[in-house]
Structures are given as C-alpha cells and as structure tokens.
C-alpha cells in the first residue's frame, strides 16, 4: 500500500516536471537510466581491475622500456588504452612514470596521443552492437571467477565479467532512454545544445563529473539512437567529452613533479586544439552531412566522428609533438628548486603521487606506477641516511659538533619520509589487486623502516660526538683508526644498496659478505678494546662511548642486510 502510494506521488511529480502534449517520463524508466549507467561504470571498473591484476606488471614493463620513437609510443598508448578501455587510466600511468623519472616529457607526448586514439574503440564496439554477446561473455567471466582457483584465471574472468556487465548496462540505458524523445522539456534541452559553445561546455562538464569519456560517449550514442539528439548537435557534445576526459589526469597531477604536470598539460592541449580545429571544420564544411550519408545509424555515426576526431588530431599534431612539450613547459615553467623539491624546512615527498589522485578506489595504473615512485623516494631517503652516517662518523673522529645541526635536520627529514611512505603504503595495500604488486609494496614498507633505523644509529653517533666534545674525552689513535674503518665499510655497504645492480642474487651475496665483515670487525674491535682497557690506554668514559659506538656500527650492518634482502624479494616478484 505504501509502495503504491509512493509510486503515485512519483507519477504526479514526473507529470508536473515533464508534462507536455500529454506525455511524461515514468519514474521507473528514469531509474533504469541510472541503473544502466551504474552497471556500465561498474563493468568498466571490473575490466580495469581484472586487467590490472592479470597484467599490471607487464604493462609497466612495456611503458618503462618505451623508446623515444614517436610512432612506437603512439602504438603502445593506443594498444594499452584499447585493452583497458580507459584513456584516463593510461594517462594517469604516464603522469606517474614521468613523475618517477622513468619517462621523459617527450615520450609522454606520444603515449598521450596514442591513448586518445585507443579510447575510440568503446564507441566502435557499441556501434557494432556486440552487446548481443554480453550475456554469454558475462557468464563465462563469472564462471571463471567462481569455479576456478587459479588467480590468473580469476582475474581474466573478472575482466570478461566486467565487459559483459558493461554492455548489459548500455542496453538498459538505451531501452530506458527511448521515452525521452517524447519529453518536450528534454527535447528542448537537447535542441539548445546545437549551439557549439553550449554543446562543448555540456560535454566537458558531464564527462568531468562521471570521469569517463567512454561512458559519456556511450550515453550520447544511446541518446542519438533513441532520437533524442540529432547527429549535427551531438558532434559538439562529443568534442567537449574529449576535453572532459582530462579531469582524471588533472587530479592525478596534484602534488607531483613539474614534468608530470606538463604531461597532463599536453593531454589538455591535445584535446583543446582538436576541439577548436574540428568545431571550425564542422561549421564551415559539410563533414557531418558526409558522415550521415556514408555511415548508417546515429550510434555508428558518433563512433565514426569520434575516430575521425582523435585520429586526425593525432596525425595533425605528430609533427608538432616537440612543440607541444615546449608549449607545456612555457605554460608551466620551472619552479625554484626549493618549491619543486622541498627544503629542510618544507619537507615533502618528491616522487610519490597521492593515492587519492588516481581515484579513491585506486584504479588501473596504481600498482603499475607505484613501484618506480616508491623506489625513487626510498633511494632519496637512503641517500640522506648515507650522508648522515658519513657526517656523524666524521664528527666523531674530529670531535667537532658543528656539522651535527645539519645531521639532525636530515634525521627529521628521514623520519618524515618514513612516516609519509608508510602512510602511503598502508592506504595503497588496501586497494592493490595484483598479488606480486602487493609483495613488492610490502618489501618497500620494510625497507623504509630499516632506512629510518640507519638514520637513528647515525643520530646516536652524533650524540657521542657532543659528549666527546663537551667532556673533552679523547679516543686513542688505535680507536680512531678503527672508527675510520667503520666509516669506510659502512659507507661502502650503504652505497651498494644504491647500486644500479641492486636486487639480483649475486649482488645480495656481495652485500651479505659486507655485513659479515662488519660483524667480524665488531668482534675484533671489541677484543682490541679489552686489551686497551687492560693496558690502561683507554679511559673509562671513552671505553663506554666506544662500546656504544660499536653497537650502532653493527646495527647499521644488520639493517643494510635487511634492506638488501627485501630488495631481492621485490626484484624476484617483478
């Protein structure tokens, strides 16, 4: 009874909103539109997550090894975007790689162009009506997810199920939108969008809101198929949709390096330039009429225009790829170093893109880009720890506390980086769908903690320096020579962690030998200290401080080995 009353109220409301010539849109049909859109977006997310879990590392490897060849870059960008059905995902990956220093801005230009070509395939699939295959594809996908135990097959099943759900959602939207052509208010709204500026603005805003050009183009196709919007008007909305898809990349560029921001700028420039060119072309030439004559059906016509827009814009701009990069550099010039990388007073992450920038649920590309970003951030943190170890041992030898203010500043920075990296990883690990990616990220979490402990031991050495200076406690020449040996092998061990060969089995064996050498030296120096104590060469206070120094020295070696082992695990997983 209550439900019937509720439905009556909804009918009255809808009648008042959409009444005209005795026609109205049923409330439940309106819900069908939103339900279809929800299934469409969920299907895309399932596809992306399944592909990320099944092949995220392979995609990362392809992008990392990309050469400077423009045509290869465009091809790779198009293929990856076709596979994941999301130009936003590809662009977010590109922003992450540029930010991590694994790709130049010029390389990013070609990938972005390819991503814009690849994103047209969704519209083509919809136009070809492959939605008839949606139920069996979804069934096969769900069957693989439910009845197989192999993670790889489950991920493939997730991808197929997502594809099927995507087209089921599209069919729901198409069926629910047919009554819209009888609603005068909506027809009038669509008629106003024949104005190029209003059409482009509407397409931009709508696509930015749902953050999916594939979904917005699909909705436009269903509207056209239902006869609600004319093809001549839909082209301007389509052009705006190409601009609106940039919003995800713009969000991903918050808090990243200057070059990463420029890659996003290139993405925006590409679509804006294409929109300006094609708006003029459509207004002064019979392009839309030619497409209507050559291509049957409004859905196929929109798909054809989408392909022509992105393919022609790419061909036109290929000779000007370098100019696009330079223009982006002029729009976003180099910032002062203190602003770009932070200073001792203004600490910040230099490489990591905030997880939230890639979408609150992570999405495709997170694990693919995070490995390089984390590795570079950890290298930066380890270099600070190495500098502190060097400076602290030097201060002990000279009994000079003057360098220690700088040591303390770096130690605070190391603590800050450990805290931020740990927080980043704790958020990331909850959305990571790739099992190997999870292992790598977990190893990096352990590495960050061990680097922070090396920094703590260097800080302890700084404390001994102050005591040596304040109380005028001298170390014997024998002890000073041993401290020099400790410093040299400690720096050698930490530098090995920064080697380009870090991670392989042979390298791990070499680091293990260095750690064993540190243990042997610690034992030898303790025995030598006992002899000096017996011979009266070493004072009581000097012996106590030296014993504590040996403990910190040995612990530095332990943490170096821990880091090396985790790097080897990460390398094996990749």
Q: What pLDDT was estimated at residue 180? A: 59
Q: What pLDDT was estimated at residue 514? A: 93
End-to-end CA distance of the chain: 60
Selection from 256, 411, 247, 263 nearest residue 340 by Cα:
256
Q: What pLDDT was estimated at residue 55? A: 56
Counting every residue, how long is the chain?
574
Q: What pLDDT was estimated at residue 86? A: 66
292: burial class by Cβ within 10 Å (0-12, 13-18, 19+)? middle
Are the C-beta atoms of residues 381 and 448 closer than 8 Å to each other? yes
Question: Per-residue pLDDT for the chain (574 aa), expressed as one digit of tens each?
Answer: 444 543 444 444 444 444 443 344 456 666 776 777 677 667 766 766 666 665 555 555 565 555 557 788 888 888 877 766 667 667 766 776 676 666 778 888 888 888 888 878 767 766 666 556 777 888 888 888 888 888 778 878 887 888 778 777 766 766 666 665 566 666 666 667 778 898 899 888 888 877 677 777 877 887 787 777 888 888 999 999 889 888 767 776 666 667 778 888 998 999 999 999 999 999 999 998 999 899 888 888 888 998 999 999 999 999 988 888 889 889 888 655 444 444 445 677 877 755 444 444 444 444 556 777 788 889 999 999 999 999 999 988 888 888 888 899 999 999 999 998 888 887 777 655 556 667 788 888 899 999 999 999 999 988 888 888 888 888 888 888 999 999 999 999 999 998 878 878 889 999 999 999 999 999 999 998 888 888 777 777 888 888 999 999 999 999 999 999 999 888 776 6
Q: What pLDDT was estimated at residue 342? A: 40
Kindly provide the b/e burial profile for residues 511-545, where b requires at least 16 CB atoms within 10 angstroms of the residue's own CB. beebbeebeebbeebeeebeebbeeeebbeebbeb
| Token pair listed for 358 | 């890639």
Give the global pTM: 0.58
Q: Where do the H-state alpha helices sit in 105-246?
A: 105-118, 121-127, 134-147, 151-177, 184-192, 196-210, 213-225, 231-244
CA–CA dist 40, 122 (Å, integer): 12
Our measurement of the distance from residue 313's CA atom to the centroid of its chain's CA atoms, rounded to an integer in Å, reads 26
Q: What pLDDT was estimated at residue 11? A: 44
CA–CA dist 397, 255 (Å, integer): 41
Spell out the domains of the chain, with CATH numbers in brackets. Answer: 2-331 (no CATH), 366-573 (1.20.58.220)
Query: What are the φ/ψ torsions at residue 227 (nearest 5 degrees)?
Result: 80, 15
CA–CA dist 285, 288 (Å, integer): 8
Sign for the CA dihedral angle at 101, 512, 544, 480 comes to negative
Kindly provide the b/e burial profile for residues 370-404, where b requires at least 16 CB atoms within 10 angstroms of the residue's own CB. bbbbbbbbbebbbbbbbbbbbbbbbbbbebebebb
């Amino acid at each position: 009874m209550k439900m019937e009353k509720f439905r009556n109220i909804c009918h009255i409301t809808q009648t008042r909103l959409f009444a005209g010539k005795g026609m109205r849109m049923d409330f439940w049909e309106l819900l069908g539109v939103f339900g279809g859109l929800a299934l469409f977006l969920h299907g895309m997310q399932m596809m992306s997550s399944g592909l990320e879990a099944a092949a995220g590392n392979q995609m990362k490897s392809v992008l990392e090894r990309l050469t400077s060849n423009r045509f290869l870059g465009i091809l790779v960008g198009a293929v990856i975007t076709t596979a994941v059905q999301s130009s936003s995902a590809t662009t977010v990956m590109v922003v992450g790689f540029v930010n991590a220093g694994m790709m130049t801005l010029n390389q990013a230009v070609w990938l972005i162009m390819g991503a814009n070509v690849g994103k047209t395939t969704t519209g083509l699939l919809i136009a070809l009506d492959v939605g008839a295959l949606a139920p069996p594809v979804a069934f096969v996908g769900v069957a693989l997810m439910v009845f197989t135990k192999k993670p790889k097959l489950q991920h493939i099943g997730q991808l197929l199920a997502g594809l099927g759900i995507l087209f089921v959602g599209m069919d729901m939207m198409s069926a629910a939108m047919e009554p819209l052509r009888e609603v005068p208010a909506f027809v009038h709204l669509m008629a106003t969008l024949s104005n190029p500026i209003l059409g482009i603005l509407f397409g931009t805003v709508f696509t930015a809101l749902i953050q999916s050009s594939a979904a917005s183009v699909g909705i436009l196709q269903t509207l056209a198929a239902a006869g609600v919007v004319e093809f001549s008007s839909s082209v301007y909305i389509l052009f705006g949709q190409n601009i609106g898809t940039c919003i995800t990349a713009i969000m991903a560029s918050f808090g990243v390096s200057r070059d990463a921001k420029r890659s996003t700028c290139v993405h925006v420039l590409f679509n804006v330039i294409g929109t300006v060119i094609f708006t003029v072309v459509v207004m002064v030439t019979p392009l839309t009429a030619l497409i209507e004559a050559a291509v049957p059906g409004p859905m196929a016509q929109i798909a054809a225009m989408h392909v022509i827009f992105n393919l022609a814009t790419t061909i036109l701009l290929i000779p000007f790829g370098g100019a696009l990069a330079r223009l982006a550099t002029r729009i976003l010039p180099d910032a002062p170093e203190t602003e770009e990388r932070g200073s001792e007073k203004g600490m910040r992450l230099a490489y990591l893109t905030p997880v939230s920038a890639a979408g609150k649920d992570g999405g495709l590309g997170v694990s693919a880009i995070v490995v390089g970003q984390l590795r570079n951030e950890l290298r930066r943190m380890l270099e600070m720890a190495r500098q502190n170890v060097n400076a602290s041992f030097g201060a002990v030898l000279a009994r000079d506390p003057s360098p220690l203010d700088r040591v303390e500043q770096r130690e605070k920075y190391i603590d800050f980086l450990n805290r931020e990296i740990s927080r980043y990883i704790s958020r990331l690990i909850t959305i990571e769908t790739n099992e190997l990616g999870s292992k790598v990220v977990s190893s990096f979490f352990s590495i960050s903690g061990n680097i922070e402990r090396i920094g703590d031991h260097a800080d302890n050495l700084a404390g001994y320096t102050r005591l040596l200076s304040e109380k005028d406690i001298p170390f014997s020449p024998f002890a000073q020579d041993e401290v020099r040996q400790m410093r040299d092998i400690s720096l050698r061990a930490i530098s090995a962690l920064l080697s380009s060969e870090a991670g392989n089995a042979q390298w791990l064996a070499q680091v293990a030998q260095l750690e064993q050498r540190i243990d042997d030296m610690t034992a030898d120096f303790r025995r030598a200290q006992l002899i000096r104590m017996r011979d009266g060469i070493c004072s009581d206070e000097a012996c106590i401080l030296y014993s504590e120094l040996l403990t910190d020295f040995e612990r530095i070696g332990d943490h170096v080995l821990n880091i090396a082992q985790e790097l080897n695990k990460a390398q094996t997983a990749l």
